[in-house]
Chains A and B, each alone.
Chain A
């Protein structure tokens, strides 16, 4: 069974600093990996989806990389802002139809 781990569990940075969030997975035969953010009491907002054939995806200040051989994905958030404070979750699937295994998340606080 795929296991997804996110370290650290919590992270606090001053505004303007770059954020680096790590996700590792045990089964390298992933089909997709998706990054989400979750605000308190809210659902999940999709940030980036990386398909197995891709090495990275970019959207604005966000960049996510995928290294299947080492079982890792990294989410970079450039020039962090207080509005980036949230819990970030990664999820991967080894099935073509998308049953996700989620990490426990990294809780991020960006201080002004």
Chain B
């Protein structure tokens, strides 16, 4: 079956512009996670969704970052007024959480590489 998909695969933007990154989780997966992978920082957690709710937003680095999820499926991560330090690979993962399979096994998408000039 289809895995987690993300779009765009690459995004180049100018400092100060807003960007939207999209994640399509595996069908039926109720949990969705956003992570960021930066050079020198490794992988860091950003936000977690259970259904359409985000019980943990603790990893969002500033109020310029926001995310939403609709219909318990697609999620969008929005970065406003982008800065050069936002350049990173943004990874999305989904997990079945009771829909079957090992609990909390996370399946990752290919990521969106964001470059802020």
Contacts and interface: CB of A to CB of B under 8 A. Distances in A.
Contacts, number: 65
Nearest to B41: A104
Size band of the interface chain A makes with B: 20 to 34
A35 B105 CA distance: 10
Interface stretch (A15-23, A45-53, A65-73, A75-83): A45-53
Contacts of B91: 43-44
Contact of A46 (B45, B50, B107, B111): B107
A97 B43 contact: no
A99 B59 CA distance: 10
Interface residues of B, number: 27
Contacts of B4: 43
A98 B33 contact: yes
Contact of A49 (B31, B102, B108): B102
A97 B50 contact: yes
A93 B6 CA distance: 24
Interface of A: 31-32, 34, 36, 42-46, 49, 51, 89, 91, 93, 95-105
